[in-house]
Amino acid sequence: MTARDKYHGVWPVMLTPFDDRNEIDWSSLGKLIDWYIKSGVSGLFAACQSSEMFFLSDAETLKLVRFVVDRADGRVPVVASGHTAAAMSQQIDQLAAVAETGVDSVIFISNRFASPSEADPVMQERLAILSDALPRSVGLGIYECPYPYKRLLSDETVRWCAESGRFTFVKDTCCNIERIRRRAEIAKGSRLNIANANAQTLLDSLRAGAAGYSGVMANFHPDLYVWLCDNWQSEPEKAEKLSLYLSTAALVESLDYPVCAKDYQVAIGNFATTNCRARETGGYFRDHFRSNMRQAMKLGDEYRRMIGLQSEGAMPTNL
């Protein structure tokens, strides 16, 4: 399978479940991985912002990524980041260790290369240094993580990544269809795949040549995103209707994510708690938020019926 084939489709940005002591809940994590895969996803993105990577130690990150790789067991490929360090020497050590876990690609965080005030050539220079420091046996990717600040990739940086032959994956968070169209055109014919994180522009981005979806809503209804990525060309009318629902349902991300996603995972039996390290337990997520989220997810059943989707074992719907 080529990189162009492997990195298409849906790549959930994985949650990290925590137990009552706020330690990683490995049993719940195993259930989550199996649920993603039963939903038909193409791959898994571990140790990302949704995984609360900035709140994990390096040792925890490596243990987490190894667990995901082992549990996936070749059923789907795994990419991972954990790119949280500041100094380049720390970043090299950090990501070299992730590369040794068996992941298909190591994902860089775009804001780790330069401060908000530093120009794009500074970022590109450091990106090249870090790329050269990692083994060529592992693919590379970049994620436009919004924390601690969002640094969007310039067209020149995307072109450099495509022409390098090293890069397989960009997790695009620009939320701008014109920019995504340019990026997809730049990546055409290379190993580089554009994975859109934004539901509202997803269908148009697929039409423009984007490879698929890698966003937070795959933690709620990944099967619907899988159907859209697989069938938007063959069933365009249904795809248009489903896209409208997914765009609206994606607003639940504003309901204290990732708590709302963990609450959903508790409701369907995968998680034991909604505990987070990135958010205060019992903070902003209240019964009103829970009701809004669950109603939005329940409406998804109507769209499953519309598209004739059979999601046995993937999406319990008795919320």
Side-chain-side CA neighbours of 166 within 13 Å: the count stands at 22
What pLDDT score does 36 carry?
A: 98
Residue 285, in any domain of the structure: no
What is the residue range of 24's domain?
Answer: 3-234
| CATH number of the domain encompassing residue 92 | 3.20.20.70
Catalytic residue list contains 171: yes
At residue 7, what is the residue type?
Y
Q: Which helix (H) or strand (E) holds 106?
A: strand 105-109
Residue 306, in any domain of the structure: no
The per-residue DSSP string of 33-54 comes to: HHHHHHTT-S-EEESSTTTTGG
What pLDDT score does 245 carry?
A: 98
What pLDDT score does 313 carry?
A: 43
Residue 277, in any domain of the structure: no
Residue 243, in any domain of the structure: no
Residue 300, in any domain of the structure: no
Domain count, the chain: 1
6, 31, 171, 262: the active-site residue = 171
Q: List the one residue out of 175, 185, 266 whose CA is nearest residue 219.
A: 266
Residue 11, in any domain of the structure: yes
CB atoms within 10 A of CB 284: 11
> pLDDT per position in the chain (319 positions), as tens?
565 578 999 999 999 999 999 999 999 999 999 999 999 999 999 999 999 999 999 999 999 999 999 999 999 999 999 999 999 999 999 999 999 999 999 999 999 999 999 999 999 999 999 999 999 999 999 999 999 999 999 999 999 999 999 999 999 999 999 999 999 999 999 999 999 999 999 999 999 999 999 999 999 999 999 999 999 999 999 999 999 999 999 999 999 999 999 999 999 999 999 999 998 766 678 888 999 999 999 999 999 999 999 754 444 555 6
Distance of CA 216 to the CA centre of its chain: 6
Q: What is the pTM of this model?
A: 0.95
Residue 7, in any domain of the structure: yes
Read off the pLDDT of residues 48-69 as tens digits, 9 standing for 90 and up.
999 999 999 999 999 999 999 9
**What is d(CA 212, CA 230) in angstroms, rounded to the nearest whole number?**
9
Residue 230, in any domain of the structure: yes
> Does the bond joining 17 to the residue before it have cis omega, within 30 degrees of 0?
no
36, 143, 225, 245: the active-site residue = 143
Catalytic residue list contains 143: yes
Q: List the one residue out of 222, 307, 170 whose CA is nearest residue 37.
A: 222
Torsion on CA atoms 155, 109, 208, 8, rounded to nearest 10 = 140
